[in-house]
Amino acid sequence: MANIVVSGEQLQEAFREVAAMVDSTVGATAGPRGNTVGISKPYGGPEVTKDGYKVMKGIKPEKPLHSAIVSTIAQSASQCNDKVGDGTTTCSILTSNMIMEASKSIAAGNDRICIKNGIQKAKDVILKEITSMSRTISLEKMDEVAQV
């Protein structure tokens, strides 16, 4: 298959479309009141699940560019799963919303580098806040959590 090379508004539109698709499908599964989502399979009946990560992995757009963007978002969710063992749905939702908001900002004429720097600063502030809220727990407490 030939390489796909796009830029400008065509690329921004593809990112917006994929981000909206991820947000609506994966986001539908989020939280205790999340909904189930049906995923068609090439064999057998559809799979019905509330697992956001399965839904993310089940998104298979026909357009190769959209497929590449979905793959990138799925990779971020996979890395989240590898590092902390959970949070894939939240990661997918946050990633898609960051794409949509950055796209709006770009469309409004804001500088892409300033947007990137703003995202980086926000990440640093959030990580600092989360770290300040963390606490060390004993092995006994870990064992109690593991029992649940």
Residue ranges and CATH numbers for the domains of the chain are 8-110 (1.10.560.10)
For residue range 22-65, list pLDDT tens digits in order.
999 999 999 899 899 999 988 888 899 999 989 998 999 999 99
Q: Report the distance separating Cα 128 and Cα 147, nearest Å.
A: 30
Please name every residue paired with 92 in a beta bridge, in sequence order, or none if there are none: none
Say how many residues make up the chain: 148
**With contact defined as beta carbons under 8 Å apart, do 68 and 38 qualify?**
no
For residue range 106-115, list pLDDT tens digits in order.
989 999 999 9
Query: What is the CA 63 to chain-centroid distance, rounded?
Result: 19
Place of tokens 């892409």: 112
